[in-house]
């Protein structure tokens, strides 16, 4: 696999070839993903839940994200490294620029932020300073206390229409990618068609340009009830390497997510 860039992903969307992403937090899982065909490794603030044992992503700091980004970048190979700006670290353009710059210096190649209509000025400012941005829409875990829990977003017609408009506005502002979490499959399909930038989905149906899962989830390493959109890829005795390769193959073939992983 040649080095994955934004142009690589844009060309894949244009040609109709799907790409894959996994969330990882250290060099071991970063190497597992990159050496088995994953194009984008996301250093997610979900490390608050998965690594730190917190109840949400809210306690995660910029310093935490920089540490884990350095770990992941050290073994990412040709994969692109995307890193989350954590809770309340991008409330203003200046704050976003300062904190995003720290993540880029730690090894990130694109920054992910959560939100919709209020983000275009921040997206534009970061792009002007050489920092590509992926915007996370739908279920945004940093806003769980406002949303009233982890619930599917965009089922109401007004909310769905607002999300489509926001996606187009964010593209116009300079967003390089979008990530849709826990939205109905038909809405994700509409947004993916409405924009020319790549769209990654998680719990957003099969018609997005890419899929992402937390590597711990798809390897069945997390305890408790799994989200509807998670598939366990290690049920039949596969090695972790085989499991990741099977995930990549299924995403590219369009067989994951299947009907049981999709919100209607």
Contact 163, 179 (CB under 8 A): no
- Chain segment 216-264, per-residue pLDDT in tens: 999 999 887 888 999 999 988 899 999 999 999 999 999 999 989 988 8
Q: Could you tell me the CATH number of the domain that includes residue 17?
A: 3.20.20.60
Whether residue 251 lies inside any domain: the answer is yes
Query: In which domain, by residue range, is 67 found?
Result: 6-261
Catalytic residue among 109, 181, 190, 250: 181
Closest alpha carbon to 45 in 23, 28, 30, 75: 23
Contact 177, 80 (CB under 8 A): no
Residue 195 has pLDDT above 90, yes or no: yes
Q: Please give the tally of structural domains in the chain.
A: 1
Whether residue 247 lies inside any domain: the answer is yes
Those residues whose C-beta lies under 8 Å from the C-beta of residue 120, and which sit 6 or more positions away, are 169, 170, 172, 173
Based on the residue annotation, tell me whether 190 is a catalytic residue of this protein.
no
Closest alpha carbon to 205 in 151, 259, 140: 259
- Chain segment 58-85, per-residue pLDDT in tens: 999 999 999 999 999 999 999 999 999 9
What is the structure's pLDDT at 222?
A: 87
Residue 210 CA to residue 62 CA, distance in Å, equals 27
Whether residue 22 lies inside any domain: the answer is yes
The burial of 136, by beta-carbon neighbours within 10 Å (0-12 exposed, 13-18 middle, 19 or more buried), is given as buried
Whether residue 67 lies inside any domain: the answer is yes
Whether residue 1 lies inside any domain: the answer is no
Residue 225 CA to residue 250 CA, distance in Å, equals 23
């Amino acid at each position: 696999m040649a080095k994955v860039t934004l142009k690589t992903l844009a060309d894949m969307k244009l040609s109709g070839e799907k790409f894959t992403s996994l969330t990882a937090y250290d060099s071991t899982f970063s190497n597992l993903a990159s050496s088995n065909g994953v194009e984008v490794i996301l250093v997610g603030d979900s490390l608050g839940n998965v690594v730190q044992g917190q109840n949400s992503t809210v306690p995660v700091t910029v310093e935490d994200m920089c540490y884990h980004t350095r770990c992941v970048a050290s073994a990412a190979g040709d994969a692109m490294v995307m890193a989350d700006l954590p809770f309340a670290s991008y409330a203003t353009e200046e704050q976003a620029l300062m904190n995003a710059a720290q993540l880029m210096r730690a090894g990130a190649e694109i920054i992910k932020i959560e939100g919709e209509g209020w983000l275009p000025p921040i997206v534009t400012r970061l792009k002007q300073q050489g920092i590509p941005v992926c915007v996370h829409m739908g279920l945004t875990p940093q806003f769980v206390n406002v949303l009233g829990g982890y619930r599917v977003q965009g089922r109401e017609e007004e909310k769905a229409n607002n999300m489509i408009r926001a996606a187009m506005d964010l593209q116009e502002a300079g967003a390089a990618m979008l990530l849709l979490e826990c939205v109905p499959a038909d809405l994700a399909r509409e947004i993916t068609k409405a924009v020319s930038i790549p769209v990654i989905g998680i719990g957003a149906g099969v018609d997005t340009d890419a899929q992402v899962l937390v590597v711990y989830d798809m390897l069945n390493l997390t305890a408790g009830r799994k989200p509807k959109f998670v598939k366990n890829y290690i049920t039949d005795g596969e090695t972790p390497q085989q499991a990741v390769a099977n995930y990549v193959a299924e995403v590219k073939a369009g067989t994951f997510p299947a009907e049981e992983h999709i919100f209607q």
